[in-house]
Structures are given as structure tokens and as C-alpha cells.
């Protein structure tokens, strides 16, 4: 068996990749598609220069026709990158070979390598954003469905890991939705700042871009569907650092949701669990195990996203007018964070679609702790007769005593000196009915659901469709090996 270096990264593993990426978002970062994008940007540059009269229109037309990666010797490009230590020149050399001599003289006319690669990277991220926005919307809607279904389902609210007060499962989901909606806003804000082209030349002053460089830049951006930046951003990488930071924020929220399900699936709580099917195995030595591994994987991805964001922040420090260290980090940080977030969204969406809610466990847990989680209601009931501070002291002593002796909390309360004869156990039990003490849980839940139903239309310029990789074969596998043989 030959070891295939192409599968060395976990996102390319034929065995484990589904835990770290999806086929759809991985295709965005196909290396051959990346080079095809570089050619796409080069062609847009040539067409813009032709439109401004900088190069002949016939040359731009010929270059558009010859910019076909499938006609290039990809093995020679790979070899050339190793020999020249330059990421673009070997591709341009192949383009020269495939082009008419006169047209070839206008290839990469006036631009610098980073102009082309940065602009192509923005197009790449536009595709990634499209997938992420779509899947985030699906997750919001699925969580809203659960919130509506459980808007009146009682659950023990917990603080510091301990039973606190009664609330509703619907409100728990509503809090998730509210957080995801804010991330959606952040995504669109980030898109509005980051979807900009780059065309400023060697040190950012546009000196080699002809007589009307600003007009050329405007035309170039329009052809690619991007915005025009006010200055070059060769060494200003705040936009890309913002993307990886935002992806880590979103991943953290997804991890929080998955971890909550994981915690509530413990046998001693047992209120919900991730989807299960016969044949899913939890342990090689303990056949009874029913592990929440799907939820755990979302948490893993959240942690990887945080680590990737740290690498993204390192791109902010550059030297002088241009420096390739940031770009080389971004080739990893942007692609990895996009794939990890894509996998986290897809994974959590599967979990929420198949989420198992054990309402019998919810009722059992509420019943066993109803009196304790009703302590707030009891405090105000008793305070009406003896004052709030004294009522708090009474309930504190009773609760601590009941915990130590394992006696009934309510019976312990009525025995206290300050409450003796004021209430019966039954009166206190009625006062602690959980359904009477969920406040505005239903109203808040319904309000958030209504907001989620009015998700704004996609008006950010994100195209919610990703074009297929030009090198995917009929079986869905990248046809690069075939292309190499043709070369």
C-alpha cells in the first residue's frame, strides 16, 4: 500500500475527514480551484485593462480563452514552485506557453503577485461565507423549531452546575437562537468590510497600472463583484484576522450548545441526548456506553477554531509595505477555520434535527427538586410575614439541614422557629408549583422565535451558490491525477 501524501491532513483523511470538514466547503479550497481563481483574477485584470485602453482588446480576449488550467502542465507548475520558490510565476509560465505570443506579452501587466492572490482569496472566502451563512440560517431555524415545540416544557434551571429555579426548555433554546442571530449580524458586517479587491502594485501606489489606475481598479472590482478599498491592504490584514476571529466566536457558541446537550445527556440527568442508532458503539471494552461523541466533536472543532484564530491574529504584524508571512499563514488559517466551522455547523445541525428530548426525565428531575428550586418563591411568600432577610435565613438553614439529614425540605421549613405555625407543608408545596414560577419564559421564547422567522434577506453580496470545482470527475473525486498525465 502506497502512502498518499495528499491525505496527510485530517481534513483530507479518507477515514476521519467528515469530523473536520464537509465535501462542499473542502471543494472551495481545492488547490486546483485556487489556481483557477488566480487565472480568473488575471483575466479580469486583462479585460479591465482592455476596457481602459491599456492593452489591446484582442489580447484580453485571447488571454481569457487560453486561461484554462486543464491545458497546463500541472506537474511542471509544481516542480517550478519548488525550483523558483515563487507561488505564481510557474503558473504564469504555463499560461505563456498556452497563449499566442502577442497576447502573452500582456499577462500579469502591472500587477504584483499579492494583488492577484489576495483578490482570489477574497473570492474564495466569498464562497465559504455563502455556505456558512446558509448553514447558520438552517441551524437557527431548526433550533427555533425546537424552541417552539418546547416553549412550555419545564426544566430545572441550573446555575454553577446545581439546581437553581424552574424554567423552560424553550427558553434555553431561545438563548441559543439569540446568540446565533447576533453571529449572523456579525457575518454580514464582516462580509461588508472584507469583500474587497486588491490591485495596487509593488508597494501600493499603483505606479505601474497605467494612466488611470483608479478607473482600472473600479472596473476590476466591478467585474469580480467586489468592493473597492480606499488603500492597498498588502500589509493591513485586519480583514482576514477579523474573519478567523469571527469564525472562532461562532465556533465557541456552537461548542457551548453541543456541550450543554452533552452535559444534560449524563445518565444522572438524562434529559436529552444526541441522535442515536443501533450500531453506534461507545467503547471497545464497555458495551453499555452510549457516548455523546457527535457533541464532543463540535466542541473539538470550537477549540480548533480558537487556535486557528490565534494564528489569524499573528498576520496583523507585517513589515513595511509588503511581507509574505501573513499571506502564507492565511492560506492555512482561513482554509482550516472555514472547514472547521463548516463541519461544526453541519454536525450541530444534524444533532439538532435528531435531538432526543426525554420528557420523562425532565419531569422526574423537576419533581425530585421542585421544592428546592421553588426556594425563591418560598422566600417571598414567607417574607410577607417575617421580612425578606429573615425569610432568607430561615430557608438557608432549612435547606442546609435537609441536605445533611436527607429529610423533606418543606417539613424542615415549617419546623423552623421563625415559621412554626405560619404555614402547612401543603401550603408551601402549592406555593412551589414550578409552573407558577417560570416568569416570562414563554413570552421571551416566542419573541425570539418571531425574530428568527424574519431573517433578513441575503443582501450582502454573498452568492448562495458555490460553483463546482472544474476538476471534479463524474465520481466526485478531483481529477488532478488525470490532468497530470495529460501534462
- The question of whether 283 is a catalytic residue gets the answer yes
Please, which residues have CB within 8 angstroms of residue 439's CB and are 6 or more apart in sequence? none
Strands annotated E in 339-381? 356-357
- The question of whether 320 is a catalytic residue gets the answer no
Pairing status of strand 272-273 against strand 162-168:
unpaired
Please, which residues have CB within 8 angstroms of residue 451's CB and are 6 or more apart in sequence? 177, 178, 181
What's the CA gap between 86 and 112, in Å, rounded? 12
- Among 160, 277, 288, 320, the active-site one is 160
What dihedral do alpha carbons 190, 192, 204, 53 form, nearest 10°?
Answer: 150
CB atoms within 10 A of CB 360: 10
The b-or-e profile of 329-346 (16+ CB within 10 A means b, else e) is bbbebbbbbbbbbbbbbb
Find the farthest-apart pair of alpha carbons in the chain and give their distance in angstroms, rounded: 105
- Among 149, 207, 283, 467, the active-site one is 283
What's the CA gap between 391 and 396, in Å, rounded? 9
Nearest to 357 by CA among 158, 177, 145: 145
Q: At what angle do helices 293-313 and 238-264 cross, to 10 degrees?
A: 160
User: Residue ranges of the alpha helices (H) in 164-227?
Assistant: 169-194, 213-224
∠246-249-255 over CA atoms, to 5°? 140
Catalytic residue IDs? 160, 283
Amino acid at each position: 500500500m502506497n502512502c498518499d501524501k495528499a491525505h496527510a491532513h485530517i481534513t483530507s483523511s479518507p477515514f476521519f475527514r467528515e469530523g473536520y470538514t464537509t465535501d462542499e466547503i473542502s471543494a472551495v479550497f481545492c488547490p486546483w480551484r485556487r489556481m483557477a481563481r488566480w487565472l480568473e483574477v488575471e483575466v479580469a485584470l486583462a479585460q479591465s485593462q482592455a476596457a481602459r485602453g491599456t492593452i489591446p482588446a484582442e489580447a484580453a480576449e485571447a488571454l481569457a480563452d487560453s486561461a484554462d488550467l486543464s491545458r497546463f502542465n500541472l506537474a511542471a507548475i509544481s516542480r517550478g514552485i519548488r525550483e523558483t520558490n515563487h507561488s505564481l510565476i510557474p503558473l504564469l509560465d504555463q499560461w505563456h506557453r498556452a497563449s499566442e505570443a502577442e497576447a502573452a506579452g500582456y499577462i500579469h501587466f502591472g500587477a504584483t503577485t499579492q494583488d492577484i492572490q489576495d483578490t482570489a482569496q477574497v473570492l474564495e472566502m466569498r464562497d465559504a461565507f455563502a455556505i456558512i451563512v446558509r448553514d447558520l440560517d438552517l441551524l437557527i431555524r431548526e433550533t427555533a423549531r425546537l424552541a417552539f415545540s418546547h416553549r412550555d416544557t419545564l426544566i430545572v434551571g441550573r446555575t454553577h452546575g446545581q439546581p437553581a429555579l424552574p424554567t423552560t426548555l424553550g427558553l434555553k433554546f431561545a438563548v441559543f437562537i439569540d446568540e446565533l442571530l447576533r453571529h449572523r449580524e456579525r457575518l454580514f458586517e464582516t462580509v461588508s468590510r472584507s469583500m474587497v479587491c486588491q490591485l495596487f502594485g509593488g508597494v501600493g501606489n499603483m505606479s505601474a497600472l497605467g494612466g488611470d489606475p483608479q478607473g482600472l481598479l473600479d472596473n476590476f472590482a466591478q467585474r469580480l463583484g467586489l468592493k473597492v478599498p480606499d488603500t492597498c491592504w498588502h500589509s493591513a490584514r485586519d480583514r482576514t484576522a477579523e474573519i478567523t476571529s469571527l469564525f472562532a466566536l461562532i465556533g465557541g457558541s456552537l461548542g457551548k450548545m453541543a456541550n450543554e446537550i452533552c452535559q444534560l445527556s449524563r445518565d444522572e440527568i438524562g434529559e436529552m441526548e444526541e441522535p442515536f442508532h443501533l450500531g453506534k458503539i461507545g467503547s471497545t471494552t464497555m458495551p453499555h456506553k452510549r457516548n455523546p461523541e457527535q457533541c464532543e466533536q463540535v466542541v473539538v472543532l470550537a477549540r480548533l477554531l480558537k487556535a486557528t484564530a490565534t494564528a489569524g491574529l499573528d498576520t496583523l504584524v507585517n513589515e513595511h509595505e509588503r511581507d509574505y508571512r501573513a499571506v502564507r499563514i492565511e492560506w492555512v488559517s482561513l482554509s482550516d477555520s472555514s472547514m472547521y466551522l463548516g463541519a461544526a455547523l453541519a454536525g450541530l445541525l444534524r444533532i439538532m434535527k435528531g435531538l432526543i428530548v426525554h420528557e420523562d426525565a425532565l419531569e422526574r428531575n423537576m419533581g425530585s427538586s421542585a421544592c428546592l428550586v421553588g426556594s425563591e418563591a418560598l422566600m417571598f411568600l414567607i417574607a410577607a410575614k417575617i421580612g425578606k432577610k429573615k425569610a432568607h435565613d430561615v430557608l438557608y438553614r432549612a435547606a442546609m439541614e435537609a441536605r445533611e439529614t436527607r429529610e423533606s425540605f418543606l417539613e424542615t421549613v415549617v419546623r423552623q422557629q421563625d415559621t412554626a405555625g405560619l404555614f402547612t407543608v401543603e401550603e408551601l408545596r402549592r406555593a412551589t408549583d414550578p409552573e407558577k414560577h417560570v416568569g416570562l419564559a414563554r413570552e421571551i421564547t416566542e419573541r425570539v422565535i418571531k425574530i428568527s422567522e424574519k431573517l433578513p434577506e441575503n443582501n450582502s453580496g454573498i452568492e448562495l451558490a458555490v460553483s463546482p470545482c472544474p476538476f471534479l470527475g463524474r465520481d466526485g473525486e478531483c481529477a488532478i491525477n488525470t490532468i497530470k498525465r495529460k501534462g
